[in-house]
Amino acid sequence: MNTTPFTSGCTSGPSENAVTITRVADRQWHALDDDLVVGRGHAQHRPDGRLFVSIDVWHEAAFDRLAEVMLAELPAPLYTVVDEADVELTAGWRRAGFTVRRREWEYVVPTDPQVTGLDAVLPPPGVTIVPAGQVDGRLLREVDRAIRDEVEATVGWQSMPAEVIPRREGDTIVDPSKYAVAAAPDRYLGLIRVVTVIRPRVGLVAVRASEQRRGIARALLAHALGTLHRSGFTAAWTEVQEPNRAASALFQGIGARPMSSNLELVR
């Protein structure tokens, strides 16, 4: 446990007593004011290897002191994600030297096929949709790896939305039951992942590069959204990186509406 004292000169934040930054565990810090926890900092590696940091505090002064200690002890580059509407939090990270790397829009997606226009959408000839829970795990991992390699060779997988989920080393599929796939007789051509915790979220829609522009992504969405609709969900959510025009066009074309935006910042 490491502690670093600071004297606060901000009367509207922590008191004039010393604010102590304490490293309470590996990559976890607390800001203490008279033994009261007034802030928490955390760092975590995401599956793509990047180190993301977060700070939750009561006062601006505690944020700045936590950031100062954390950034001095952690290796660069560092990343964080903020709701763009949270002006104070964004300003705090900017004070710490972070800049905007990318913006992701959160869309709300209707599930009713009469609204999305996907009621008559079928997969192209020779392609079938395998529902979630019936997917072959080996073929799923094969198509997932192939698509990831294609993305990495072009725009880079870091351009895709990142999720903080546990997985075995080298295995990018945590729960095969969350995936539906588009299948040819000998291999899978594309996949869609839908996770429902509090609300359904479309986490990924992807198709092999050689099979794109055949309507496979729309067929996967038609299947997944239709399944949600029959289960009683009227909407789903997804995130799209701002420069990804193809994905934006795909979702906007079925009536999805942008609801909020997140900024990924880097230092």
Residue 37 belongs to a domain: yes
Residue 91 belongs to a domain: no
Residue 81 belongs to a domain: no
Q: Which of 128, 152, 167 is nearest to 209 (CA)?
A: 152
Residue 98 belongs to a domain: no
What are the angstrom distances between the C-alpha of 48 and each of 44, 85, 135, 197?
A: 11, 26, 25, 23
Residue 84 belongs to a domain: no
- Give yes or no: residues 111 and 231 share one domain: yes
Looking at residue 16, its pLDDT comes to 40
pLDDT truncated to tens, each residue of the chain (267 aa)?
444 444 333 334 544 456 788 898 889 999 988 888 899 999 998 766 789 999 998 888 899 999 999 999 999 999 999 999 999 999 999 999 999 998 999 999 999 999 999 999 999 999 999 999 999 999 999 999 999 888 877 655 555 554 444 455 556 777 899 999 999 999 999 999 999 888 999 988 999 999 999 999 999 999 999 999 999 999 999 988 887 888 899 999 999 999 999 999 999
- Give yes or no: residues 127 and 255 share one domain: yes
Using an 8 Å Cβ cutoff, are 103 and 263 in contact?
yes
DSSP string across 201-218: EEEEEEE-GGGTTSSHHH
- Give yes or no: residues 49 and 109 share one domain: no
Across 92-112, b (16+ Cβ under 10 Å) vs e yields bbeebebeebbebbbbbbbbb
- Give yes or no: residues 126 and 218 share one domain: yes
What are the angstrom distances between the C-alpha of 142 and each of 72, 167, 171?
A: 41, 16, 11
The CATH number given to whatever domain includes residue 222 is 3.40.630.30
pTM: 0.74
Using an 8 Å Cβ cutoff, are 264 and 78 in contact?
no
Which residue do the tokens 């004297």 mark? 7
Q: How many CB atoms lie within 10 A of CB 222?
A: 22
Residue 86 belongs to a domain: no
Looking at residue 66, its pLDDT comes to 94
Cα separation, 224 vs 215, in Å, equals 14
Looking at residue 155, its pLDDT comes to 58
Residue 194 belongs to a domain: yes
- Give yes or no: residues 148 and 218 share one domain: yes
- Residue 229 domain boundaries: 105-262
- Give yes or no: residues 232 and 166 share one domain: yes
- Give yes or no: residues 256 and 177 share one domain: yes
- Give yes or no: residues 129 and 250 share one domain: yes
- Give yes or no: residues 222 and 140 share one domain: yes
Structural domains of the chain, count: 2
Looking at residue 18, its pLDDT comes to 67
- Give yes or no: residues 49 and 120 share one domain: no
